[in-house]
Structure 1
Amino acid sequence: MGEETKDWASRVAFISGGVSGLGFGIARAFALARMRLALSYRNEDYRSKAAAWFAQNGLEEPLWVRLDVTDREGFARAAEQVEAHFGAVHVVVNNAGVSVFGNTAEASHADYDWIMGVNFGGVVNGVVSFLPALRRATGRRHVVNIASMAAYLSGPQAGIYTASKFAVRGLTESLRYNLVPLGIGCSLVCPALVATNAWDSAFRRPAEFADSGFGEVNRSALEHFGKAFSAGMDPLEAGQRILSGMSEEKGLIFTHPEFAEDFKAIYEDSLAALPLDEAPPERLEVERMRRAANKAALEGREITIGDLN
């Protein structure tokens, strides 16, 4: 166990979608750091394969929690179950999501409801359900919300997915200001290509969201696209990078290094879009107070609306 992660030993972590893909990579990284785990799942085959890995490595079997992350009542029961089983919950990782492609200009309400419901609604459900338990716990605690590099980089084929990840980014960055004064860490994780089957979400679309504006799924084209995922980062490596970021109390965790060109363009485009005229002193003072309040929150002070005027 690395020196930087030893403080997590015996901490209890709940990971949604923790039996496959990136979620299982995080679960393995946590288990190897001797954390105790509760993992949500929907697919019994994935759960069985995950269980075999824990047994083969002589590690404590997780608490298995069958859960649809869009089910608010189910999520509330899951939080109660995990806390009752372990006596405390210290870490929640909101990871489950769907990756769906299509022309956003053709999207239907069903497309929005499904993708936003899972990718953003699932995170909201995890935060609302598990935060009370984290607040009751003591010692090192952390909320980890998994977004994507799509939280920064938009494109023509994943508009709703991108919107959901922008939403997770905004929620997490704001939530961090509220949690640091409570002694709870909070990290936004934006991974890029990981060697998973995340590309095939369209094949598992629920019947209640069948009225898609994207048209029938082109299986051969999607499967060809999915081959690119074989070049992705090993999920365990991504999980280890996430754990290291948590240990360093990073509010933002990037797992992949290949985006300097993109961020340089974002920075330059953003500066170029700002008007060149000078802002009046009154508005400058408002923004000064906002920055000061944000800094104070990250230093441990609870901020109220009175600190902003």
Structure 2
Amino acid sequence: MAGKTRDFRGKTAFITGGTNGIGFGIARAFAMAGIDLVLSYRKEQDREDAARWLADNGVPPARYVPLDVTDRARFAEVAAEVGKVHILVNNAGVSVFGPTDEASYADYDWIMGVNFGGVVNGLVSFLPGMKAHGEGGHVVNVASMAAYLSGPQAGIYTASKFAVRGLTESLRYNLAPHGIGVSLMCPGLTRTNAWTSALKRPEDFADSGFAPADANELEQFGTAFELGMDPLEVGRKTLDGIIENRGLILTHGEFAQDFEEIFRTLIEALPNEPVPEGRLHIERLRREANRAAAQGQLIGLSDLT
């Protein structure tokens, strides 16, 4: 959790979308570290496959709860049912792409509702209990490298991941005084079936501005995912990040060129001109407050002026 430890006996993790893909990669790494698992799922086949893997590998069985992460009432029920949780992993998401300028309200509502709203629902449902039990803990919000890298086919998806990034970075300051660490986990290309999301569009969001999903085109897109990292490796790196209480967990190493370009663009966009002392003073206070918050100090508005 918020301190460095590898002893997870008696600790429970709740993982949304925890029976397949990256979620199950994280679940497997946690299980092998001795963490008790509660996994949410949508498909019965995924639940059965997950249970079989855990049994075949000699780790204790998980508890499973059916959950649509956009269903706030059900989320509240689940939080009450599962009891004490020490590690919350908000992982469930959809990968849906299309030209942003053609998107409908339904496209925004579906993608943002799952990818950002699902994280919000997990936090609102589980944080009160995590703070109340007083045993510390950790929150991992799974985003994507799209939290830093944008592209022409991923406008809403990117917006959802940027939102998760901003929320997570701020939340880390809020939860430090409670002994709860917070990490933003941004995986790159991973061997999953995330590309099938567009084929599972709920009827309530059928009025899309994007062209109908073409199964053959999506299958070709899916071949890229076959080159991705093993989800278990992503899970192990996530666990290491929790142990080290890292605010940012990057699992893939192939993005140095992108980050260098982002850094250059930001620095070059800053006006090269004198800055009034008053503004400099306010920014110094902001930095000092952030450093204090990261060390566990409660920060109020009065600390910023």
TM-score by length of 2: 0.97
Shift of 1:220: 1.0
Q: Out of 134, 141, 144, which is 1:145 matched to?
A: 141
Mean Cα deviation higher: 130-139 or 71-80: 130-139
- Contact residue 136 and residue 178 of structure 2 kept, 8 A: no
Q: Distance in 1 between matches of 2:136 and 2:31?
A: 16
Shift of 1:8: 2.2
Query: CA offsets, 1:200-238, max 9 Å, x none?
Result: 100000001000000211221111010000110000000
Shift of 1:140: 4.0
Q: Distance in 2 between matches of 1:109 and 1:123?
A: 20
State the secondary structure of the residue aligned to 2:78: helix
How many residues end up aligned between the 2 structures?
A: 302
Shift of 1:122: 0.0
Shift of 1:42: 0.6
Q: Distance in 1 between matches of 2:182 and 2:133?
A: 15
For 1:272, give the aligned amino acid: E
Q: Distance in 1 between matches of 2:85 and 2:151?
A: 37
Partner of 2:12: 12
Alignment of structure 1 residues 183-194 onto 2, 5 Å: 183-194=179-190
- Contact residue 38 and residue 62 of structure 2 kept, 8 A: yes
State the secondary structure of the residue aligned to 1:39: strand
Partner of 1:226: 222
Query: CA offsets, 1:263-287, max 9 Å, x none?
Result: 0000000000011111111111110
Shift of 1:5: 5.6
Alignment of structure 1 residues 1-309 onto 2, 5 Å: 6-83=6-83, 88-309=84-305
Q: Distance in 1 between matches of 2:225 and 2:32?
A: 25
- Contact residue 100 and residue 201 of structure 1 kept, 8 A: yes
Q: Distance in 2 between matches of 1:176 and 1:21?
A: 26
For 1:34, give the aligned amino acid: G
State the secondary structure of the residue aligned to 1:279: coil
Shift of 1:100: 0.4
Q: Distance in 2 between matches of 1:100 and 1:51?
A: 28
Q: Distance in 2 between matches of 1:154 and 1:8?
A: 37
- Contact residue 5 and residue 244 of structure 1 kept, 8 A: no
Q: Distance in 1 between matches of 2:302 and 2:134?
A: 29
For structure 1, the 5+ residue unaligned runs are none
Q: Distance in 2 between matches of 1:272 and 1:12?
A: 46
Q: Distance in 1 between matches of 2:9 and 2:259?
A: 35
- Contact residue 25 and residue 238 of structure 1 kept, 8 A: yes
For 2:70, give the aligned amino acid: T
State the secondary structure of the residue aligned to 1:98: coil
Q: Distance in 2 between matches of 1:227 and 1:133?
A: 42
Query: CA offsets, 1:4-38, max 9 Å, x none?
Result: 76222331000000000000000000000000010
- Contact residue 8 and residue 140 of structure 1 kept, 8 A: no
For 1:142, give the aligned amino acid: H
Q: Distance in 2 between matches of 1:89 and 1:158?
A: 33
For 2:257, give the aligned amino acid: E
State the secondary structure of the residue aligned to 1:101: coil
For structure 2, the 5+ residue unaligned runs are none
**Identity value in percent:** 61
For 1:144, give the aligned amino acid: V
- Contact residue 5 and residue 243 of structure 1 kept, 8 A: no
TM-score by length of 1: 0.96
State the secondary structure of the residue aligned to 1:97: coil
- Contact residue 5 and residue 33 of structure 1 kept, 8 A: no
For 1:285, give the aligned amino acid: H
For 1:266, give the aligned amino acid: I
- Contact residue 130 and residue 136 of structure 2 kept, 8 A: no
Q: Distance in 2 between matches of 1:123 and 1:265?
A: 29
Query: CA offsets, 1:15-65, max 9 Å, x none?
Result: 000000000000000000000010000100000000111111222211111
Q: Distance in 2 between matches of 1:203 and 1:261?
A: 33
